[in-house]
Structure 1
Amino acid sequence: MATIRDVAKEAGFSVATVSRVINDSGYAHEDTRKAVMLAVEKLNYKPNEVARSLYKRKSKLIGLILPDITNPFFPEMARGVEDYLQQYGYRLIFGNSDEKRNKEMEYIDTFLQNNVVGMIASTSEIGNESFSNLEIPVVLLDRTVEGLPAVYSDQRAGGQLAARILIDRGSKDIVLIRGPVEIKPVYDRYVAAMEELRLAKVKFHVVDSPLTIQGGQVCAQELFEKYPHVDGVIACNDIVAAAILQEILKREKRIPDDIQLIGYDDIAFTALLHPPLSTIRQPAYEMGKQAAELLIKRINQEVIEETHRKLPVTFVERLTTRKKAES
């Protein structure tokens, strides 16, 4: 890998002159600039972004904190962030928080040490104050807190929609899978679904589950041991729904005739399940893209008229729910 000394040698100038040209930090004759940039191109020299940021007191680095990149919902969101930022020459530094405040704090410290100019975070609820006092712009993603810009989807509408679909399509004994109560978006859609079921006076039960495949497998077994005659399930996310789907098939129940199932998120593999999973779609890519857009506006000190952006959710009908006319 070429160094700045290699560039200086190739161009025939001192390291200081080359640094001045690359960092645009002082006068250099136009011929000198051309010679240096030709050498940069010939040697494919890549300036050390961190070193440049420390010198110029600014960088093109953005910190991104997400809960768990092994959940396919979050990579799609991260891709939306990255694709938008790349248009403006920014690069991401990424970390998994696992919804733990101490990990968030460690990543915040690391990002600041690398002189990031902004952060996007899907933060744990107890960690929000960690972002409120930073001297750089912060945008929340899939989370909200007063005083910080945020992009998120309409969780209450999603929970209500899932419940209404199962009711309208004939389910009369429903299990509602409650995810971790400390994760506000998950809890909000659970509460909304529960309220809709109560309003319709439909019989329902609540079973808890983590948002992982292992947790979903345990939840699925508990569900059918406690409520063997259930005819509808609303899962807290698509991963848990996939585990429940496998348990339904293992028990030789017909889906959707005997039991209907709705997931949440519309992650990529749901269309490839057998049968394909009906689910509530969150626009993950668009959420990431809009969070990046808000952050760029804050970095550039532009006026932001709408600091909280709530995006709509939609029902993706596949084969784990009945057709409405059949209910």
Structure 2
Amino acid sequence: MKTIKDVARMAEVSVATVSRVINESGYVNVDTRKRVEAAIKEINYTPNEVARSLYKRKSKLIGLLLPDITNPFFPQLARGVEDRMQEHGYRLIFGNSDENEVKELDYIRTFVQNNIIGVISSTNYPESDIYQKLKIPIVFLDRTSDDNPSVYADVREGGRIAAREIVDRGSKRITILQGPAHIKPAQDRYLGAIEVLDELGITYNVIQTSSFSYTDAEQWAKEIFDKYIDTDGVIASNDIIATAVLREAYRLGKAVPEDVQIIGFDDIPLSSLLSPSLSTIRQPAYDMGREAAGLLIKLIEQDKVDEKIIQLPVSFVERETTRRKN
């Protein structure tokens, strides 16, 4: 890795002169500046952003905190954030909290130590003192908060759409996978689904799950058909769980969608590659990430912010785990 000393040696100047050029501090004559800039370009030198921000007391670093990077939904969020930030010259420091409040606090402290100037967080604890005490702009992503800017999808409507679609396609004995109790979006999509089923007078069963992970998905898929063997429609808490349900249905010799219909949630890339491909509720994850980044940039740069709460629409993606409407 090239250092500032390598730049100084090539440009035949002092390290202090290179530092003044990089940090735009102090006088450097035009010819010397050109030599330094040419040397930087030739050896592809990249200044240490943290050290540079500490020197200038002005950072371009943003902290991004996600709850579970193994869930394909969250890398889509992260990509949207990163692309928008890079367009405006910002860089990310990333943390994966594993939905653990202690680990989350540790990452926030690490962000602060690295002189970040803003945070985007997909936290399950938006009202925590961790965030109340921060003196920098915060945007919650895929989460809601009464007191802070937030970007999220209308997941409650997503639950309603899933319930309507599965009923319209003929399911009468429906099982809902509720999703983790501590994750508000999971509960919102569950509440949306039961609102519609109650309105329509459809009997349904509920299985409470404690995570969205691959590791636990298989046991809940088995529980559906052990407890409710005549289930003919499943509304899953996310696409990962829906994939496990699809696999279990085939293990039991059930035809999908003829014997049992399945609707997921999120529309992760895997959903379209399954056989049969998964019908699901699409959250615009990449767009959500871009919106959150754009909102944070406005807050940092103190631009006018018309909306601090941004809700994006969801939609039903019809594939092969649901029947065609009559």
Q: Above 0.5 in TM-score?
A: yes
Q: Secondary structure at the match of 1:322?
A: coil
The worse-fitting range, judged by mean Cα deviation, of 206-215 and 74-83 is: 206-215
What is the one-letter code of the residue matched to 1:138? I
1:256 aligned residue: 257
Structure 1 residue 3: deviation in Å?
A: 1.5
Superposition map of 1:149-188 within 5 A: 149-188=149-188
Q: Deviations over 1:108-147 (max 9, x none)?
A: 0001111111110001136543223211111110001112
What is the one-letter code of the residue matched to 1:305? D
> Is contact 1:128–1:145 with CA below 8 Å preserved after alignment?
no
1:137 aligned residue: 137
CA separation in 2, counterparts of 1:245 and 1:214? 15
1:324 aligned residue: 325
Q: Secondary structure at the match of 1:320?
A: coil
Structure 1 segments, 4+ long, off by >6 Å, are none
Q: Deviations over 1:251-306 (max 9, x none)?
A: 11111111111000000001111110100000000000100000111110011111
CA separation in 1, counterparts of 2:14 and 2:255? 76
CA separation in 2, counterparts of 1:101 and 1:231? 38
CA separation in 2, counterparts of 1:150 and 1:26? 40
2:299 aligned residue: 298
> Is contact 2:175–2:233 with CA below 8 Å preserved after alignment?
yes
> Is contact 2:61–2:90 with CA below 8 Å preserved after alignment?
yes
2:9 aligned residue: 9
Structure 1 residue 31: deviation in Å?
A: 1.2
> Is contact 2:126–2:144 with CA below 8 Å preserved after alignment?
no
1:77 aligned residue: 77
Structure 1 residue 80: deviation in Å?
A: 0.4
CA separation in 1, counterparts of 2:174 and 2:108? 42
What is the one-letter code of the residue matched to 2:265? Y
Structure 1 residue 177: deviation in Å?
A: 0.4
CA separation in 2, counterparts of 1:224 and 1:43? 62
> Is contact 1:169–1:324 with CA below 8 Å preserved after alignment?
yes
2:289 aligned residue: 288
CA separation in 2, counterparts of 1:125 and 1:15? 46
Superposition map of 1:1-327 within 5 A: 1-125=1-125, 128-209=128-209, 210-325=211-326
CA separation in 2, counterparts of 1:176 and 1:258? 16
Structure 1 residue 214: deviation in Å?
A: 2.5
CA separation in 1, counterparts of 2:278 and 2:2? 51
What is the one-letter code of the residue matched to 1:53? S
Q: Secondary structure at the match of 1:214?
A: helix
Structure 1 residue 27: deviation in Å?
A: 1.4
Structure 1 residue 15: deviation in Å?
A: 1.4
Superposed CA RMSD in Å reads 1.1
Structure 1 residue 213: deviation in Å?
A: 1.9
> Is contact 2:283–2:314 with CA below 8 Å preserved after alignment?
yes
Q: Deviations over 1:29-78 (max 9, x none)?
A: 11111111111112221111111011011222111000101000000110
Structure 1 residue 174: deviation in Å?
A: 0.4
Q: Deviations over 1:12-34 (max 9, x none)?
A: 22211111111001111111111
Q: Which runs of 5+ in 2 are unaligned?
A: none
CA separation in 1, counterparts of 2:85 and 2:126? 28
Structure 1 residue 250: deviation in Å?
A: 0.7
What is the one-letter code of the residue matched to 2:213? T
> Is contact 1:66–1:96 with CA below 8 Å preserved after alignment?
yes
What is the one-letter code of the residue matched to 1:287? M
Q: Which runs of 5+ in 1 are unaligned?
A: none
Q: Secondary structure at the match of 1:324?
A: coil
How many residue pairs get aligned? The number is: 325
Structure 1 residue 157: deviation in Å?
A: 0.3
> Is contact 1:65–1:120 with CA below 8 Å preserved after alignment?
yes
Q: Secondary structure at the match of 2:63?
A: strand
> Is contact 1:213–1:239 with CA below 8 Å preserved after alignment?
yes
What is the one-letter code of the residue matched to 2:268? I
What is the one-letter code of the residue matched to 1:8? A
CA separation in 2, counterparts of 1:127 and 1:105? 13
CA separation in 2, counterparts of 1:62 and 1:149? 16
CA separation in 2, counterparts of 1:43 and 1:275? 51
How high is the TM-score relative to the length of structure 2? 0.97
CA separation in 2, counterparts of 1:147 and 1:250? 47
What is the one-letter code of the residue matched to 1:104? E
> Is contact 1:132–1:147 with CA below 8 Å preserved after alignment?
no
Identity of aligned residues (%): 56
